[in-house]
Structure 1
Amino acid sequence: MSLASAAGTFRTTTPRTGAPSGFAPLLNRVKEAGLLRRSQVFYLSLLTTLVLALGGAIAGFVLLGNSWFQLLIAGALGVIFTQFAFLGHEASHRQVFTSGKANDRVGRAVASGLVGLSYSWWMNKHTRHHGNPNVVGKDPDLDIDTVSFVDVDAASARGVRAFITRHQSKLFFPLLAFEGINLHVKSFLHAFGKGKVDNRSLEIVLLVVRMVVVVTPIFLVLPLGMAFAFLGVQLAVFGLYMGLSFAPNHIGMTMFTIDAKPDFLRKQVLSSRNIRGGMPMTALMGGLNYQIEHHLFPSMARPQLAAARKIVRETCARDGIAYTETTLVEAYRVVLAYMRTVGRSAPRVFECPVVMDYGRL
């Protein structure tokens, strides 16, 4: 299934193969414009700002003490940790430094040490996603994870998952509140699992120390009930913010069968969606609003994405490639419409098959 544009028209499509690619001349234009240069001053300023924000939240936590106003600090921490996650994401794409090792060190320190996510797990999953965005059977972001993104997966759902899948468009936003817990659990399972984990010992130390440092003061300073409420709010805000930032990127865009052979430019552009909003939206979404440019040039620093957008739009217009850009609200509308369409393939859980057959007769 695919959604060719933000207009909301679903159709089955097989992207043409062997089409001439305009990526080489596009890449040359981007290089000539100097848009692949690193922006270390920007990232140093961003890191400083986030560290100061984190320090302010910690100071507020200490000063408030036993007070339900602590839930405001919890919400702020959810936002701050998400912003740190955006920075870790950019480091993983080599956007911060020219040295891969330097990017990895910063990315692992931020992701595992500050946010509490496994850097190794993220790198493995996200690298595969970038290589095959929206390719059914290859993109790990399309795998079943409570909800279903492919109708075949929805049809295979049973029991509670079938019920959730059937109503996944209505439950989509509430489920995102649990995404923070889901990400932390997956990170620990990966770090302690049997599969290959890069720098496993360091990653385990960072994850465990981060968990202890974050959780212990909460239960030492706050009453038990308030402490659980604090953690709940922080994790809910973190999950919602992360989910709401990543959901508009590809859901409802063109999906490719595993045997389709679109050229690189078309595969990345047709499967991605940009969000309008300029600099405020860029700050809010950590540069993910320029998803098309990010997929075409993964190592491009955040400040260069807006300028690259103009060049990419011109290339797509010249080559007749649909370039999707919409508002955030419209993107969510399309995402929910797509989730609803896929969800209809799930079995009806609480209906008697005999009664259903009789009704069809």
Structure 2
Amino acid sequence: MATKLKFAAAGNLSFFSTLRTRVDAYFTEQAISPHANRAMWVKTCFFLTGYFTLYLLILSNQFSALGMLGFCLLLGIFAACIGFNISHDALHGAFSSSPRINRILGNSFYLLGASPYVWKITHNIVHHTYTNIPGHDEDIDIAPGLVRLDPQQPHHLWHMYQHIYSFPLYMLASLSWVFRKDYIKFFKEQIGQHKNNNHPRAEYLNLFAGKALYYTAFLLLPYLLLDLTIWQVLAGFVAMHLAEGLVLGLVFQLAHVVEGTAFPLPDASGLMTESWAIHQLQTTANFAPRSRLAAFFCGGLNRQIEHHLFPKVCHIHYPALTKIVRETAGEFGLPYLENASFGTALYSHYCMLRRLGQKS
């Protein structure tokens, strides 16, 4: 069993209290809510409308097989963007002050073929608490044995080539999620520090019913309604998830597995040397923080530092918070990691994969 972890109670604790005071003051002075505004609702309508339009265009059976394949690729990208922009905020309770609205919009995660309940456990509880801590944060334990994302993982000969084969593997992330990951995580007795063996009965039904509806909508109905062979239907389904998986995989990896991010270990008693907030600064990086396109499509995940420190604030406000967080970190002599563009972050991740692929 993993060592019970605790974050340091002493140290630079005034950093986070100062930061929270300044962030709270920003919302008070601007007389705005930390939740969704009109621009956020416009984004929500855009991605949901695009998703269902593409799905209905495919089911209309009015296009060639090649045309429908193109729609499948776009549908995978829109699904990823719904996850980034809508599901993610709602499942953190950041989209609205209303738990009911958050619950309804959080269920948009089913549109990706994924379980919102399992995500809240693995992401909200485990990843956000134990970010980049080997043996505790399972987000850095993808494709166990194949991809080495932290220096504590065992090294194998094939890791020398992981900077080449990891990117195609990321494309399989969504397929794994739909058919494998949710089931494994749901029935795993413990995830990191979280005891995972006492699910509400309703969540068993939600898991299997949600999966069944997704398989029906994206496999059975296309087979029954379209003039396609079963192999063409499967090809479209796989193409959709390869596009979705690549987008999901790259965006998530560029936040925590790039040059400069740390993979800190606790001492023998399970104590981390820094407070939780400083730990987030050490293990998280932003990318393309000045890009409006990245902000629109990535749902604020290009500003992961702000997200990890304030997960209950809607991502539409992160551009304003960035200046506050960066300046406060500088005042306290703390790191603030960022890559200027998506390309530089991608190259940094490539370099990290290559370095971690070498035997220490």
Please report the TM-score for the alignment, with normalisation by the length of structure 2: 0.83
Is contact 1:270–1:322 with CA below 8 Å preserved after alignment? yes
Distance 1:286 1:58 in 2: 22
TM-superposed CA distance for 1:125, in Å, is 0.9
TM-superposed CA distance for 1:322, in Å, is 1.8
Distance 1:193 1:295 in 2: 25
Q: Partner residue of 2:177?
A: 183
TM-superposed CA distance for 1:130, in Å, is 0.6
Distance 2:25 2:113 in 1: 39
Identity %: 23
Is contact 1:151–1:343 with CA below 8 Å preserved after alignment? no
Mapping of 1:99-178 within 5 angstroms?
99-107=98-106, 109-112=107-110, 114-126=111-123, 127-145=125-143, 146-155=146-155, 157=156, 163=158, 165-178=159-172
Distance 2:183 2:170 in 1: 19
2:246 maps to amino acid = L
Distance 1:54 1:137 in 2: 37
Q: Partner residue of 2:352?
A: 338
TM-superposed CA distance for 1:269, in Å, is 1.2
Q: Partner residue of 1:69?
A: 67
Is contact 2:219–2:234 with CA below 8 Å preserved after alignment? no
Q: In the TM superposition, what whole-angstrom CA distance separates every residue of 1:171-200 from its partner, at most 9, and x where no partner exists?
A: 121111111111112124445777444422
Does residue 1:307 correspond to 2:302, yes or no?
Answer: no
Mapping of 1:317-332 within 5 angstroms?
317-326=330-339, 327-332=341-346
2:291 maps to amino acid = G
Is contact 2:175–2:238 with CA below 8 Å preserved after alignment? no
Distance 1:333 1:232 in 2: 27
2:215 maps to amino acid = M
Is contact 1:92–1:104 with CA below 8 Å preserved after alignment? yes
Does residue 1:257 correspond to 2:265, yes or no?
Answer: yes
- What secondary structure is seen at the aligned counterpart in 1 of 2:66? coil
Q: Which moved more, 1:267-276 or 1:28-37?
A: 28-37
Q: Partner residue of 1:31?
A: 24
Does residue 1:292 correspond to 2:276, yes or no?
Answer: no
Q: Partner residue of 2:293?
A: 280
2:15 maps to amino acid = G
Is contact 1:18–1:262 with CA below 8 Å preserved after alignment? yes
Q: Structure 1: where are the runs of 5+ without partners?
A: 1-14, 347-361
Please report the TM-score for the alignment, with normalisation by the length of structure 1: 0.83
Distance 2:359 2:99 in 1: 44
1:244 maps to amino acid = L
Q: In the TM superposition, what whole-angstrom CA distance separates every residue of 1:48-87 from its partner, at most 9, and x where no partner exists?
A: 2223212321332114344222111111110111112121
1:177 maps to amino acid = M
Mapping of 1:12-51 within 5 angstroms?
18-34=11-27, 37-51=34-48
Distance 1:182 1:58 in 2: 21
Q: 1:89 to 1:205 in 2, by over 3 A?
A: same
Q: 1:189 to 1:180 in 2, by over 3 A?
A: same
Is contact 1:151–1:345 with CA below 8 Å preserved after alignment? no
Q: Partner residue of 1:228?
A: 234
* Aligned partner (choices 190, 206, 210) of residue 206 of structure 1: 210
Does residue 1:55 correspond to 2:52, yes or no?
Answer: yes
Q: 1:142 to 1:52 in 2, by over 3 A?
A: closer
Count, aligned residues = 324
Q: 1:142 to 1:111 in 2, by over 3 A?
A: same
1:92 maps to amino acid = L
Q: Partner residue of 2:4?
A: none
Distance 1:313 1:208 in 2: 45
Distance 1:46 1:19 in 2: 38
Q: 1:37 to 1:264 in 2, by over 3 A?
A: same
Distance 1:189 1:39 in 2: 33
- What secondary structure is seen at the aligned counterpart in 1 of 2:117? helix
Q: 1:232 to 1:111 in 2, by over 3 A?
A: same
Q: Which moved more, 1:184-193 or 1:205-214?
A: 184-193
TM-superposed CA distance for 1:293, in Å, is 0.4
* Aligned partner (choices 206, 215, 222) of residue 218 of structure 1: 222
Q: Which moved more, 1:292-301 or 1:191-200?
A: 191-200
Q: 1:101 to 1:72 in 2, by over 3 A?
A: same
- What secondary structure is seen at the aligned counterpart in 2 of 1:18? coil
Q: Partner residue of 2:281?
A: 269
Is contact 1:50–1:83 with CA below 8 Å preserved after alignment? yes
- What secondary structure is seen at the aligned counterpart in 2 of 1:68? helix
